[in-house]
Structures are given as structure tokens and as C-alpha cells.
Structure 1
Amino acid sequence: MQVCFKILRQTQNSSPEFQTYTLDVEEGNTILDCLNRIKWEQDGSLAFRKNCRNTICGSCSMRINGRSALACKENVGAELKRLPTNGSSKIPEITIAPMGNMPVVKDLIVDMRSFWDNLEAVDPYVSTGARAIPEREFLQTPEERSRLDQIGNCILCGACYSECNAREVNSDFVGPHALAKAQRMVADSRDAQKESRLEKYNEGTKGVWGCTRCLMCNAVCPMEVAPMDQIGKIKQEILERKDDQASRQIRHRKTLINLVKRGGWVDERMFGIQVVGNSFRDIKGLLSLGPLGVRMIARGKFPLGFDRSEGTEQVRSLIESVQNFESETSKEDAASKS
């Protein structure tokens, strides 16, 4: 069958333009197979990265039909099924573009320096300086090693970084790839700097609190690392060590949980006062809520009362069960390391 490949092409000093190439392909052909044929048979100037062709190296990450993916993993048949079917006899099109959140060097090749610099910023290496055992390697139990399995699958393809909405609006945010690697260090029983790492990852919106929980990193990760879930684990470690006066981000999370436990859902009247106004401790924060409060009252969106949701007791029981489970797990981890 014939398929049109609509490829966004550009150089550093030119505006991007789509160029279309038509190929006779089979459904099982990978997108990388098709790009190779375009380069070898039609246009040798087309630029893209590739290496292993086997979903191991992560080199061929690009945007395929609007989402970041590995060209060696995705095939023509699967991509065509994603397209809307409108009964048209027109040759189907597959759109290919460079990854996002990184400047384009040429065509589908992007400059990944910010990606690597942000990875380096979280110090993604196991530190054993505090353990003076030079005679032998640092052993782990099978259980300790199993905690690293999912995170260790990351191939640093950049797909999560490319789709990260937080990174798009906040250039200080290190990105989901870096924080997934950070969680690997936090979870590694051989590392000697867990506490200092957590302090570092707790810094404003540069670290874990910069994540907007949009789920895009989880959706596009080709190795099911689930970066957002790993960020959540770091947040939980921090929350266990900090009270609600440590920062607004921590107060936000703790207040959210407490209000849901109390009423089954969030009482928005109290949420702003407790988080932004720090329960009347932050006068400047309270004053900042004034304009919003006036608009809500004027539009009848500020309820005078708060009705608890149905099943509040069940919600509270579930939250407390999870908290107790996490607390017991943390104690067992601490005991196993001592």
C-alpha cells in the first residue's frame, strides 16, 4: 500500500517546512525502516538519528503523528490505526517531526544538551563515599535490587522530556527523565546520600514540585518507566520528613489530603486560606486571595457552607490505610538497611 510521510524539515537558520514523500510499504514496516528508505532512495539530505534499531539505545526518538515515540518501535499499521477514518480515498499520511522542548539542529535531529545537563544536575550516580568497605563489592539482596528494576529500564530516549508540559513553561524544571533517575538513587540501598538528595530534589519548582502531573511522560515512555510515578515516590519521601511549614508546595499536598479525609473532597474555601494564607500566618498570601474571593462572591461561586461527600468515612479509611501501609513499609526498609 502507499503511504505519504509528511516530514517537518528545517535547519538552525531556516523556518520549518513540511516535505512529503510517498512510499509503497507494508503494515509491519517500522517508521525507521521507512525513513531509511526515504534517505536511501529519494532524499539523501534527510537527517535523523538512529543506532540499534531494536528499542534499546533510544536514539531514534521523534514525534510521530503528534506524540514522541521511537521510530524503530512504531510500525506503519499501528500508526494508520491511530488516524481518524473518514472514508476518504486519499493516500493516508503519517506526520513526523522533531522532539519538543529542544532546539532543532537539522530536520529530525535536536540539540539534547539541556536534556543531558538536567540529568547531570540530579547527580545520577550511586555514592558510596560514606561506606568504607574497600575489600569487596556492595552487595544487595534480591528484594533491594528488585526496587530498581522498573526505573533501570530507562534508555534516555528523551520522549518524556519532549512531551513535558512543565518543562515547556518552566526552564528551571529538570524534567521527568532526570527525576526518574533521581528516584533510582533514592531507592538504591547502596547510596550514602539519600537525605541530601531529597533536600536537593525539594528545591522549589526546579525539582519534584515543578511537575504538573499531566501524565504525558507516562503516556509516551516506551519502556514503561512511568516517570511521573517515580516523581511521586520522591515527593512521598519528602513529605514524610517535612511539616507543612517547610514550603507552600508541601503545605499544598498535606492540606489537600487532610481536607479530603475530613470531607471526602476539597473544601476550596479552606484550601486557599490554609495553603496560600498559611492558616492566617501569611498576611501577604491572604491579601493575594482577595481579588479572586471578590470575583467568586460576585458570581455566586463562594458557598457559605460545605457539604461532605457521600462515603466520607470510607474515603478517610482508604487514605489512612495507605498511609499506614507506607509507614510500615518505610520502617521495614529502614530496619533492613540498619
Structure 2
Amino acid sequence: MQVSFKIFRQQPNSTPSFQTYTLEVEPGNTILDCLNRIKWELDGTLAFRKNCRNTICGSCAMRINGRSALACKENVGSELARFSHGADTQIPEIIVAPMGNMPVMKDLVVDMTSFWDNLEAVDPYVSTSARQIPEREFLQTPEERSRLDASGNCILCGACYSECNARTVDPSFVGPHALAKAQRLVDDSRDDTTEARLEKYNQGTQGVWGCTRCYMCNAVCPMDVAPMDRIGEIKQEILERKNAQASRSIRHRKVLIDLVKQGGWIDERKFGLYVVGNYFRDLRGLMSLVPLGLRMLAKGKFPATFEPSEGTLEVRSLIEAVQASEQ
């Protein structure tokens, strides 16, 4: 069958555009197979990264039909089945573009400097400086090793970083790839700097609190690392060590849980006062809420009362059961 490949093209210091190539392909052909054919048979100037062709190295990550994926993993049949095409479309089309959140160097090749720099920022190496056992291996039990399975599957392809909305709006955020690696070190029984790591990952929006939980990193990860879940595990470790006075980010999470336990859902009247106003301790925070409060009152959107949900007791028991199991 014939398929059109609409490919993003850009030379240094030039305006980007899309160029379309038509190939006779089979449904089982991977997108990388097709890109190779375009380069070898139609246009030798097309630039893209590749290496193993077997979902191992992560080199061929790019945006395929609007989402970041590995070109060697996705095939023509699955891509065409993923989207419905209009009746007037005689030849189905697959759109290929470079990854996001990184500047384009040429065509589908991006500059991954920020990706690697942010990975380095979380110090992704096991520290054993406090264990002076030079003639022995640091052995782990199967249970200890199993805690590292998910994060250990990361191949650093950059798909999660490309789709990270938090990274798009906040350049200080290190990204889901870095924090997934960070979680591996937090859970690694051989590492002796857990407390220092948690303090580092707890710093402002560049650490775990910068994650907006949009789920995009989980959705596009080709290795099922689930970076958002790994970030959540680091948050939980921090929350277990900190009280509500430690920071607004920690207070946000603790207040949310407490209010849901009390009423089945969030009492919006209390949420801002407790989080931003720090339980009436932060005068500046309270004053910052006044303009919003006045606008809400003027528009009749400030609830005068709060009614707990019908399932409050069930919600409370579920939260307490989860908390008990974690302890």
C-alpha cells in the first residue's frame, strides 16, 4: 500500500517546513524502516538519529503523529489504525517531527544538551563513600533489587522529556527522566546518601514538586518506566519525613489529603487558607488571597457552607488503609 510521510525539515538558521514523501510499504514496516528508505532511495539529505533498530538504545525517538515514540518500535499498520483518516484522503499520511523541549539541530535531530545536563543534576550514581569494603561486592537481596526494576528499564530515549508540560513552562524543572533515575537511587540499598538526595529533590519546582502530574511521560514511555509514578514515590518519601510547615508544596499535599479524609472532597474555603495562608500563620500569603476571594464573592462563586460527600466514611477508610499499608 502507498503511504505519505509528512516530515519536518529544517536547516540551521532557516525556516522550518514539512516535506512529503510517498512510499509503497507493508503494514509491518517500522517507521524507521520507512525513514531509511526515504534517505537511501529518495532524499539523502534527510537527517535523523538511529542505532540499534531494536528498542534498546533509544536513539530514534521522535514525534510520530503528534506523540513522542521510538521509530524502530512503531510500525505503519499501528499508526494508520491509531487515527481515522477522512474519506477524501486517498493516500494515508503519517507525520514525523522532532522531539519537543529541545532545540532542533537539523530535521529530526535535536540538541539534547539540556536533557543530559538535567540528568547529571540529580547525581544519578550510586554513592558508597561511607562503606569502606574495598574487597567485596555490594550484594542485594532479590527483594531489594526488584525495587529498581521499573526505573532501571529507562533507556534515556528522551520521549518523556519531549512531552513534559512542566518542562515546557518551567525551564528549571529537571524533567521526568532525571527524577525517574533519581528514584532508583533513593530506593537503592547500596546508596548511603538517601537523606541528602531527598533534600535535593525537594528543592522548589526544579525537583519533584515541579511535576504537574499531566501523565504524558507515562503515556509515551516505550519501556513502561512510568516516570510520573517514580516521581510520586520520591514525593512519598519526602512527605513521610516532613511536616506541613516545611514548604507550601508539602503542605499542599498534606492539606489535600486531610480535607478529603474529613469531607470526602476538598473544602475549597479552607484549602487556600491552610496552604497559601499556612493555617493563618502567613500574613503575606493570606493577603495574596484577598483579590481572588473578592472576585469569587462578587461572582457568587465562594461557597458559604460545605457539605461532606455521601461516601466520606468510605473515602476515609480507603485513605487510611493505603497509609497503613505504606507504613
TM range (shorter): over 0.9
Pair 1:314 & 2:314 matched: yes
Question: How do 1:34-113 and structure 2 match up within 5 A?
Answer: 34-113=34-113
Pair 1:154 & 2:154 matched: yes
Task: Name the counterpart of 1:332.
Answer: none
Task: Name the counterpart of 1:130.
Answer: 130
Q: Secondary structure at the match of 1:212?
A: coil
Contact 2:273/2:286 (CA < 8 Å) preserved in 1? Answer: yes
Question: How do 1:185-334 and structure 2 match up within 5 A?
Answer: 185-327=185-327
Q: Secondary structure at the match of 1:289?
A: helix
Q: What TM-score does the superposition give when structure 1 sets the normalisation length?
A: 0.96
Question: How do 1:165-176 and structure 2 match up within 5 A?
Answer: 165-176=165-176
- Structure 1 CA distance, aligned partners of 2:16 and 2:227? 30
- Structure 1 CA distance, aligned partners of 2:122 and 2:324? 30
Contact 2:30/2:73 (CA < 8 Å) preserved in 1? Answer: yes
Q: Secondary structure at the match of 2:206?
A: coil
Q: What TM-score does the superposition give when structure 2 sets the normalisation length?
A: 0.99
- Structure 2 CA distance, aligned partners of 1:15 and 1:179? 34
- Structure 2 CA distance, aligned partners of 1:234 and 1:163? 21
Amino acid of the structure 1 residue aligned with 2:48: F
Ranges in structure 1 where 5+ consecutive residues have no aligned partner: 328-338
C-alpha offsets along residues 180-221 of structure 1, whole Å, 9 cap, x if unaligned? Answer: 000000000000000000000000001000000000000000
Contact 2:85/2:92 (CA < 8 Å) preserved in 1? Answer: no
Number of aligned positions between the proteins? 327
Q: CA deviation at 1:89?
A: 4.4
C-alpha offsets along residues 111-170 of structure 1, whole Å, 9 cap, x if unaligned? Answer: 000000000000000001111111210000011001111111000000000000000000
Q: CA deviation at 1:262?
A: 0.2
Task: Name the counterpart of 1:18.
Answer: 18
Q: CA deviation at 1:6?
A: 0.2
Q: Secondary structure at the match of 1:5?
A: strand
Amino acid of the structure 2 residue aligned with 1:298: A
C-alpha offsets along residues 1-22 of structure 1, whole Å, 9 cap, x if unaligned? Answer: 1000000100220111000000
Q: CA deviation at 1:265?
A: 0.2
Amino acid of the structure 2 residue aligned with 1:260: V
Task: Name the counterpart of 1:30.
Answer: 30
Q: Which moved further from structure 2: 80-89 or 185-194?
A: 80-89
Q: Secondary structure at the match of 1:21?
A: strand
Amino acid of the structure 2 residue aligned with 1:55: T
Ranges in structure 2 where 5+ consecutive residues have no aligned partner: none
Q: Secondary structure at the match of 2:284?
A: helix
Call closer, same or farther: CA 1:241–1:89 in 2, change over 3 Å. Answer: closer
- Structure 1 CA distance, aligned partners of 2:115 and 2:86? 39
- Structure 2 CA distance, aligned partners of 1:306 and 1:83? 44
- Structure 2 CA distance, aligned partners of 1:87 and 1:162? 32
- Structure 2 CA distance, aligned partners of 1:79 and 1:286? 51
Q: CA deviation at 1:298?
A: 1.0
Q: CA deviation at 1:233?
A: 0.2
- Structure 1 CA distance, aligned partners of 2:298 and 2:184? 49
Amino acid of the structure 1 residue aligned with 2:51: N
RMSD between superposed Cα atoms in Å:
0.7
Task: Name the counterpart of 2:114.
Answer: 114
- Structure 2 CA distance, aligned partners of 1:269 and 1:16? 49
